[in-house]
Structure 1
């Protein structure tokens, strides 16, 4: 058994609202290099920690965590749509081990995922079904949110389970760093939008899906012109967070409350809990070293964009 980890920001705006060509080329080079390293590792199993953006998980039943026994992506923002190659028996074993470790996680045999899951699989592995993958959803937008501590304990439980496998395991974390795109909040909407957040948005009509896409694109265009139109990015916090991961100090995040994180870096920054879970999983195997760190704030993508690899010492 061996581990390799890569955490990567995702953005639905790539290809829709892009930064200057030299910055885009820089990001593509970072992704290409990570893909090559992963190919050399030749994973036999992927554990993907991913958020959702009211595309697969809704307030009809919103878990803090959910492990997929079978899953598919919807293809929003032009990302790949289709089924993931989920090894059901392994996923069931993982879910049982997590519960036995004292971490409550739901399970789903029909998990629906969006660009947050599709992008890293496409960019880093070449497709949705290239390698068997167990998707692990972490609620990052719908209050009440899980804490950093719970995300860390989830990762540690999954890492302990994976340590017993005779496989090369790739841990992937997918999430933006500081950012707050225009995601609706149940407490601030009513009527049709509230109904969509409560579950009817699971299968949006094509015209509504396109209107939603265009709203995000327009918000990004405005953010480029006026940095005050959305919650500002916080490069200083992003770099501090990357230091925390690099130095295996994840437990220090336990004291950082959800409201404080939202104020510091934006309400969608809770996606970094996917990174924490991935690194916690790796730490359960022992000490590790990070490499190939990359960071750039990209207003066109309404996100602090980061990439970070790690492997056991």
Structure 2
């Protein structure tokens, strides 16, 4: 019987790679980076045989022509490599991924599969920092958090619980770490609803989201210019409350929030807390530990790192 031994939640931002020299709040940036390093050490100590990376996709692997709510990479995993993140084929575990997919479907979760999944910084940022120097295969689970309608937070929790049950049914005594990549609060200069873009920038972004398959690089320079020019909007109160609830093992109520409520309380980028809910549910909503929190306007995001140890607390 395989088992989940550790959960990690970590924010991502490519601006961390490309705009470090422009950081004003250097102490905060370093605190977040140190938190990533501490989480990386916890992962190494957990001795995983495979890492399930639950993350979003920023329209470099999925486009508006087809976006499932949940997609599991069951074959090749290829990183887009934007903004200094890993690029090219990643170390994967197709056999475990295929078994996990079969168990999830058998357990009532109709997860989509991809035998050649392109991921972007929504997952490769975690690979870059949290798995640095750790030779372990990854299995990506991509959650749609940007193209409405989004999967409900309730469904995300159900998927996490189903992952825990599925892993236990898989033989081989594998030790599994679950990483959630994304969040916390931030407001991206993206249309809140792709069907009603407002202004030239949003119209351009929707065009990129629709027509980017196979040529996302053609849209990337202007898209990045739009993002870098955005005014930061971070909801620190939400972030601190979310992390406090994680430490108390009380994240389950967040699985009742609607898309509109999350947008109001944590911005459109806050929709990425869905990945944290998948991870926390897979760990039985145990109490965890926040390793770092940094309000980073330079990166447009409330950046956090936290861990949930399967050997601590009660499910």
TM-score, normalising length: structure 1: 0.88
Which stretches in structure 2 are left out of the alignment for 5+ residues?
A: none
CA-atom RMSD, angstroms?
2.1
**Partner of 2:229 in structure 1?**
218
**Partner of 1:201 in structure 2?**
212
Aligned partner of residue 179 in structure 1, secondary structure: coil
Q: Give yes or no for contact 2:72–2:140 (8 Å, CA) kept in 1.
A: yes
- Mapping for residues 1-313 of structure 1, pairs under 5 Å: 1=3, 3-17=5-19, 18-70=23-75, 71-126=77-132, 130-165=135-170, 166-184=173-191, 185-189=193-197, 193-198=205-210, 200-204=211-215, 206=217, 208-219=219-230, 223=231, 232-283=233-284, 288-312=286-310, 313=312
Q: 1:170 to 1:254 in 2, by over 3 A?
A: closer
1:158 deviation in Å?
0.7
Q: 1:168 to 1:197 in 2, by over 3 A?
A: same
1:205 deviation in Å?
5.9
The 2-side partners of 1:191 and 1:31 are apart by 36
1:255 deviation in Å?
2.6
Which shifted more, 178-187 or 141-150? 178-187
Q: 1:19 to 1:8 in 2, by over 3 A?
A: farther
**Partner of 1:226 in structure 2?**
none
1:24 deviation in Å?
2.2
1:207 deviation in Å?
5.0
1:2 deviation in Å?
5.1
Deviations 1:238-287 (A, max 9, x none): 1222233333333312331111111111112111110110111111xxx7
Deviations 1:164-201 (A, max 9, x none): 44122111000021111123442234876544322x21
TM-score, normalising length: structure 2: 0.88
1:119 deviation in Å?
0.8
The 2-side partners of 1:59 and 1:2 are apart by 33
Aligned partner of residue 188 in structure 1, secondary structure: coil
Which shifted more, 90-99 or 300-309? 90-99
The 2-side partners of 1:281 and 1:208 are apart by 36
Aligned partner of residue 69 in structure 1, secondary structure: strand
Deviations 1:149-169 (A, max 9, x none): 000000111111123441221
Deviations 1:25-47 (A, max 9, x none): 22222112221222222211101
Q: 1:138 to 1:212 in 2, by over 3 A?
A: same
Q: 1:192 to 1:236 in 2, by over 3 A?
A: closer
- Number of residue pairs matched? 298
Deviations 1:95-145 (A, max 9, x none): 121122222211111211111111111101117x83111100111111000
Which shifted more, 136-145 or 28-37? 28-37
Which shifted more, 13-22 or 257-266? 13-22
Which stretches in structure 1 are left out of the alignment for 5+ residues?
A: 224-229
Aligned partner of residue 104 in structure 1, secondary structure: coil
